């Protein structure tokens, strides 16, 4: 058995380095460095989460995410889920920064957490997931419980 202890980093293929960096900076990531001799820019946030933007992508699907936006279902990673300190604060920041929410807020199962889904400039899906404080009301929150 191989013991996996956590995620080291996430690689995201993008078509436009500048636009992608600007988007991920709105989520708190900063450019750490550019790889020598490769089309990779490494970003990191204050909590040490690392993203590698691989900026050699070609849009051959007319602006659609082939894993999420087409009728045929292809294999691959569909999204990344990032924990946030407060779902309410995340919702406020998304509105302030004019970042569109593609789904949510939604609570899955019987959890005390809620998620919102957003898309980066290349339509890659990002789930922002955070706890709901006791008694806190989240405007527009849908509860999805597949066992109900």
Cβ burial of 129 (10 Å; 0-12, 13-18, 19+) is buried
Query: For residue 78, what pLDDT is reported?
Result: 87
List, for the chain, all residue ranges whose pLDDT scores fall below the cut of 50.
Answer: none
| Rg, the chain, Cα only | 17
Query: For residue 102, what pLDDT is reported?
Result: 95
Domains parsed from the chain with CATH numbers = 1-58 (3.30.720.120), 77-148 (3.10.180.10)
Query: For residue 29, what pLDDT is reported?
Result: 97
- Taking the C-alpha atoms of residue 104 and residue 115, their distance in angstroms, rounded to an integer, is 6
Structure tokens at 5: 């202890």
Closest C-alpha to 65, from 49, 76, 56: 76
Q: Are 29 and 45 in contact (CB under 8 A)?
A: yes
Query: For residue 143, what pLDDT is reported?
Result: 85
Query: For residue 50, what pLDDT is reported?
Result: 96
Its pTM stands at 0.88
Give the total residue count for the chain.
Answer: 148
Q: Are 34 and 146 in contact (CB under 8 A)?
A: no
């Amino acid at each position: 058995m191989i013991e996996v202890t956590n995620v080291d980093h996430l690689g995201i293929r993008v078509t436009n380095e500048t636009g992608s960096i600007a988007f991920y900076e709105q989520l708190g990531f900063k450019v750490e460095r550019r790889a020598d001799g490769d089309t990779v820019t490494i970003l990191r946030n204050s909590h040490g989460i690392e993203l590698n933007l691989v900026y050699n992508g070609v849009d051959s699907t007319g602006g659609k995410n082939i894993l999420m936006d087409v009728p045929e279902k292809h294999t691959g990673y569909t999204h990344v889920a990032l924990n946030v300190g407060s779902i309410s604060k995340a919702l406020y920041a998304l509105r302030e920064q004019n970042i569109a929410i593609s789904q949510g807020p939604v609570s899955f199962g019987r959890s005390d957490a809620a998620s919102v889904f957003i898309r980066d400039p290349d339509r890659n899906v990002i789930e922002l997931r955070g706890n709901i404080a006791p008694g806190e009301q989240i405007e527009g929150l849908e509860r999805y419980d597949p066992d109900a």
